[in-house]
Amino acid sequence: MAEYYHRGGRFMGRGRGGYRGRGRGCGPFTRPMSEAAASQDPDNTFEIQRSHKYCGAAPLLEQPQVLGGYSIDEDRTFGHDCTMLKFLDRKYLPENGKMKVSLDLNKGIDKACRYIGNSEESFHNLLKWILNNKDCLMNKTEPQRLDVDFISLRRPLTTIMRSPYNFNESWVIYAVEFMGSIYFLKEKGDNFLVHQNQATFRNCFEVWGHKFEDYMCGGDPEGGIQANEEYRCVLKVMMDQTTMVFAPEVDCADPYLYEEGFKDLSGFVMVKCCRELTEDYKIKTHKRHKLCQWWAENKLSGIPRILTGYRNDDGIVHTLELYETDDLPEMAEGEWEAAVSFNFCAKFLDFVKSKIKADPSAVYKFEREKKGNIYCTKVKDSSQIKILPDWYTNHLFSEDTDDEDTDDEYLCENTN
């Protein structure tokens, strides 16, 4: 794998879409106008310009503050505790940044469990935590308001950050305002509004990803694969003048750096598994998309390191490499820039604020077309889209602080 990051020349040439170098200064292609785009008022369109338009000094991103955490067990049961927090097996931590191993990701594959969660459930789990810990989020001058601009899972935020470079991805994010805070929920491909259990893993690559994480956390190589257990940290971060609360799933903590009552995620490590890269075009794609995704996830969360396993097509990991999050933009060799991602995100969040301000009672749909812009529409029949459940809106500002799924108060200052 060493030659990947130390190769020089950039793969420029013309791609399939007939454009040059999708790095700096390139934007959406010329294309026929879609029906959705044709029907849009320009005031409701967030135009995605060429990436160089977002260059310049990036908004300040403060160190994310840990407010608390919660666990989801193998039955997808929510708990105000840290029982599902995992720790890195340090024998897999490369001393010089790189290590040769032989890890078979197919072991225990016949015992793989079924993932039964979905994005709506994950979002509701965050709301449960907020409901039980609302005191640490209350606005001190306005008692009927949280001191937060946006509340979301991490994925909608990283999706937005990657949009200036990810032209081939379409997405939908719904937004609703409640008592001064805007709530984001990203629509999944199977429509998050429809309750569906995933009966099986989508493919072997998903199984391998969970198995690799199990190896890194000292799991039994012959044991089964558990996909439903999660530990999530609730973080508050300020980007420029915008405050965000989100709850990323965290892979593991370094036992040498972990401390009780941690206030940030500097002692945590992201774990990723991907295919070994040899072809130039796949190396370029990896730099442009994977490195950008990993960087956005870790940078928002304040996780400083990524432990990556490179596997062959048979599911055997031969190489482990440890990267610093802050080194990823340079490793991308110009395929994307951190400042562009931050500036784009800040501008889009301002756009969302301006749209919702016009009618805070409405549900808004922000839709990114493939190779296109982002269009904002009001959902005509908001009764069909229940982003915030009644048990949350009815009790958030009431005196009843306990949520219905726990008997114990789990205060934000007692994270662990």
Q: How confident is the model at residue 408 (pLDDT cuts 50, 70, 90)?
A: very low
Q: In the predicted model, what is the mean pLDDT of residues 217-240?
A: 93
3-state helix, strand, coil in the chain (%, to 5): 30, 25, 50
What integer pLDDT is reported at residue 36 of this predicted model? 52
Q: How confident is the model at residue 293 (pLDDT cuts 50, 70, 90)?
A: very high
Q: In the predicted model, what is the mean pLDDT of residues 61-65?
A: 94
Q: How confident is the model at residue 386 (pLDDT cuts 50, 70, 90)?
A: confident
Residue 374: is its pLDDT beyond 80? Answer: yes
Residue 33: is its pLDDT beyond 60? Answer: no
Closest CA to 291 of 246, 339, 341, 325: 325
Q: In the predicted model, what is the mean pLDDT of residues 152-164?
A: 96
DSSP assignment of 108-145 equals TGGG-------HHHHHHHHHHHHHHSGGGTB-SS-TTS
Exposure b/e, 127-144, CB count within 10 A at least 16 = b: bbbbbbbbebbbeeeeee
| pLDDT digit string, tens, across residues 333-350 | 999 999 999 999 999 999
Residue 99: is its pLDDT beyond 80? Answer: yes
| Chain CA centroid to CA 68, Å | 18
Higher-pLDDT residue of 114 and 283 is 283
Which long-range contacts does 138-147 make (Cβ < 8 Å, 24+ apart)? 139/180, 142/180, 143/397, 144/179, 144/397, 145/179, 145/180, 145/181, 146/179, 146/180, 146/181, 146/396, 147/243
Residue % of the chain over a pLDDT of 70: 82
What integer pLDDT is reported at residue 152 of this predicted model? 97
DSSP state of 64: P
Task: Find the DSSP H helices in 133-203.
Answer: 154-162
What integer pLDDT is reported at residue 402 of this predicted model? 53
CA distance linking residue 13 with residue 3, whole number of Å:
21
CB 69 within 8 A of CB 248: no
The SS3 call for residue 345 is helix
DSSP assignment of 170-186 equals -EEEEEEEETTEEEEEE
CA distance linking residue 351 with residue 365, whole number of Å:
13
Q: How confident is the model at residue 105 (pLDDT cuts 50, 70, 90)?
A: very high
Amino acid at 398: S
Residue 414: is its pLDDT beyond 50? Answer: no
Closest CA to 333 of 24, 17, 15: 24
Residue 287: is its pLDDT beyond 80? Answer: yes
CA distance linking residue 170 with residue 372, whole number of Å:
8
**Per mean pLDDT, which range of 97-106, 137-146, 156-165 is the poorest?**
137-146
**Dihedral angle sign, alpha carbons of residues 216, 218, 223, 227:** negative
DSSP assignment of 356-380 equals HHH-TTSEEEEEEPTTS-EEEEE-S
Q: Which residue has the tokens 């990267």?
A: 323
The SS3 call for residue 68 is strand
**Per mean pLDDT, which range of 125-129, 166-170, 339-343, 404-408 is the poorest?**
404-408
The mean of the pLDDT values for the chain is 84
| pLDDT digit string, tens, across residues 186-208 | 986 433 343 334 434 456 777 89
